Every structure is written in C-alpha cells, then in structure tokens.
Structure 1
Amino acid sequence: MVESTLFTPWLAIIGGSLIGLAAVLLMWSKGRIAGISGIVAGALSERGEERTWRLSFLLGLFLGAILAAYFSGALAGVQSVASTPVLVVAGLLVGVGTRMGGGCTSGHGVCGISRFSQRSMVATVVFMASGAVTVFIVRHLLGEGV
C-alpha cells in the first residue's frame, strides 16, 4: 500500500510564493522567463555573463532544496521505490518530453499561464493529464509502488 503524505498547506504556500518570487525577480532583473529547461540548455551552450546567471540560478535551485531538506528533516528515511535504471530512463523521457513540448512545467505552468499564454495553457493541461495517466498505469495496471 502507498503511504499517504501529510498535507502541509503553509509549506505549500511558502514554497509556491518563493517560486513565484524567483520567477518575478528573474523577469525583472534579466527579462527572462524562469523555464528551467531553457535555463539548463542555455547553461550548456551560452558563454560569459549569460552563462553565469544561468549557472547561478541552477546552483540556487540545488542549494535551496538541499538546505530546506536538511533543516526540515524532510528526507529522513526516504527511499526510492524505483531502481536506478528506471530513474535514468524516466529522467531521459522527461527531457525528451520537455524538448517536444517546447518547455517545462516552470516555463509553461508558472510563467506561461501567468502571462495568459494559450500555448502554455494547452501544454500545462497536456503534461498534467499525461502525469495523471502515467500514475494510473503504473499504480493500477502495472501494480508498481502499491
């Protein structure tokens, strides 16, 4: 049986607010949309100051997550239910889907919807529906993680 998670609305509000703040600050300071897949792609291909801000943004994502997990104890006793090969394949599929969709959840879901982009609204509906279908297939048809 899958364990339920404790719903923490205040942490969700704080986390969502920080994501929104980061998106606004990036738009204000650099005129850029905080789409992580685009930031990663640029970090791999750009040079100079353009690359520096991208790497700094990505480093902040990792450090923020590590610090939050450390100080909250959120990762204590967490174990992956999937093997390393499954996680690698899943990560590659996410990357391929991101390229096919022309962006990721942060670019479309956070920044695109807030700008009333129809393309982003459609993309967000498609990847949310795809996620729901995938969870249904994995949990109920394949019996994984149950």
Structure 2
Amino acid sequence: MSKPFISGAAFGAALTAAAIHQPDVIVEQMTFQNWHMVLTFLTVSGTSTLLVNALQRLGYLHLNPREYSTVGLFSVLDGNILGGLLLGAGLTVSGSCPGTVFAQIGSGIRSGLYTLGGGILGGIIWSGFLRSVLQSRAKSNTKASDGKTHHLTLDKWTGASHLATFIGVEALFASAVATIAYLASPESGGLVDPVTGGIIIAGAQMVSIVTRKSLLGTSSSFEEVGDYFWWAVGQRNRPKSYSAIALTSGMVIGALVVSLASPSARTTSNITIEPIRAVFGGVLLAVGSRMAGGCTSGHGISGMSLLSISSFVTVAAMFVGGAGVAAIIE
C-alpha cells in the first residue's frame, strides 16, 4: 500500500501549500467573500483535464468515465444531485471537505479532528444502513429503465468529437480562471498564489497517475472505515481493500511535513468551527459524497478530467448546496 500512501502524501502537501484546506477559505467561498477556493479548484481541474486527456491519447492511461449515481427517486442522476447538495452543505457547515479534512489534521487545525470524527460516523451509517437501502432502490429503478441509453461523457451527450469537447471545456476553465483572477484577485494565505496552488495540486494528480495509474479520490476512505467497523463488531466479512485509508493517511503526513518545514503554512483561520458543527458537517460530507459516488477530488478534480457528466452535475449541486446553506447560517 505504499503507492496510495505516496500519492496521498503528495496530495496533502499540495493542499497545504495552496492553503485551500483552511476552513475560512471554504466557508468564505460559499458566501462569495473570497474566491481563493474556486480559483484554485478551476485551475487544478483544468490542468488535470489536460494531463489526463493527453495521457489517455498517448495510451498511458485507460480510464473509464464516472458512472451515474442513482438512488431511484426521480432521475438517473438523482444520487449525484442529492449527494452533491449534501456534500456542499457539509462543506459550509464543517469548513472542510472529504479531502481537505486530512490536510487540516496534518497541519494542526483543531476543527478537522471533529470533522473527521463526523466523517467516520457518516461512513459507519452509510456502510451499515444507507448503502444497502439505496442500492436496492437503484437496482429496482435500473430494471424499470432497461433499454434506455445514458451517455456518460459530455462528448457523447452533445454529439461533438472528444477533441472538440475537450478543447471547449479547457477554454471554459481557462476563461473562468482568467476572469476570476482579474476581477476578484483573491490572495492566498499559503505558500503560493491560488493559480500556482492549483497547478501544484494537479502535480499531485500526476504523482497518482505515475505511481498507481489511477486518479485522486478520498471519500471512499470513510466507506472503508465503516466497512472495517462492521467487520470488527462481527457483522460483516473482512473488507478486501484499505487503499483509500492508506491514501488519506499519506495526506495527513504530507500536510504535516509542509507545516513543519514552513511555519508560514500554518496560518490561523479567521473563523471558528464549533465541535458539534464540525461533527455534523463531517457526517454530511461522508454521506453526501458516498451518495454522489465521489467528492470534490473524486468528481471535481478527477471525474471532470474524464469529461464525466455525473461529475459536472455533482460539482454544480455541491456549490448550490454549499451556497444555499451559507445563505442561511452565515
């Protein structure tokens, strides 16, 4: 499990250097006071899309797009929509996400410990109860819709060529980054500016590709912990994998190393996330990300790189959910 650990260490170090893990950066993005998070996010997504598609064309990578997440309520994408809304709410409530929580712990941000506790609780709830119920509903819905074709990628959906779609998506990313950088000029409390931070995080994606031939994603670690919990209490068979746990453990170490090597990376957050709020937010993060089949990294950084429709839908729902909750509580 050294390869996931190495990938995680690179990811955790990059998040900390970019300071995108700070609670105030996340919460203030949802209130549109600080555009640091979105600027970094769009940069890393655009750079990762470039890397992934180039390596796919060269034959180095062979990855499938993200499947739709369905819970059998109102759409084949209802899991992505509802899960994304819960995930976004969790971002605002906890000031964290399923990936940055591990960087928070490594860099000594206290609320991260409570958020992780909530995430573990959410993983236990998900793997013990919600997963089986929602999978059963999804199977029933799938049987009812047999014969219907659902396109998984933007190029298949639009009917355009893969290259044309890729160029269009990259143009949108680039124009959005340029516009936000010019109009908002967000500053970073980290070691680098937001755009450079995004490129560094995309470098962590490259580390994952080189070491594992796989893309970054962290939220499955909560599900793995939940599976191990139910195995430990004698309710399940021993889980077969702990690769996501290894990856997120590496993230903690990577963030810790950067924080120790550069004290300026250990900035103090401008907001305080109370323990009960952090725990509740952690539950929302875990349940929402598993319902959506991915999180800000799995969908936002990796899934969109594969032009997956489900990832774009999840990310859009995430920001709607986060901004909606922020309008109520902030």
| TM-score of the superposed pair, with normalisation by structure 2 | 0.36
Output aligned runs, 1:84-103, within 5 Å.
84-103=275-294
What is the count of residue pairs matched by the alignment?
Answer: 135
Counterpart check, 1:36 vs 2:227 = no
Which of 231, 247, 269 is 1:57 aligned to?
247
Q: CA RMSD in A?
A: 3.0
Go from structure 1 to structure 2 and tell me whether the alpha carbon gap of 1:77 and 1:39 turns closer, same or farther (over 3 Å shift).
closer
Query: What is the deviation of 1:64?
Result: 2.4
Query: What is the deviation of 1:54?
Result: 3.9
Which of 13, 17, 20 is 2:195 aligned to?
13
Structure 1, 94-103 or 74-83: larger mean CA deviation: 74-83
Gaps of 5+ in 2: 1-23, 35-185, 229-238
Percent of pairs identical after alignment?
A: 25
Which of 190, 206, 220 is 1:24 aligned to?
206
Q: Which residue of 1 aligns with 2:302?
A: 111
> 2 CA distance for matches of 1:68 and 1:33?
22
Structure 1, 94-103 or 77-86: larger mean CA deviation: 77-86
Output aligned runs, 1:74-89, within 5 Å.
74-78=265-269, 81-89=272-280
Determine which structure has greater relative contact order: mean sequence separation of CA pairs < 8 Å that are 6+ residues apart, divided by chain length: 2
Q: Which amino acid aligns with 1:7?
A: E
Q: Which residue of 2 aligns with 1:68?
A: 258
Gaps of 5+ in 1: 140-146
Show CA shifts across 1:72-96 (max 9, x none). 4344544752321111111111111
Q: Which residue of 2 aligns with 1:122?
A: 313
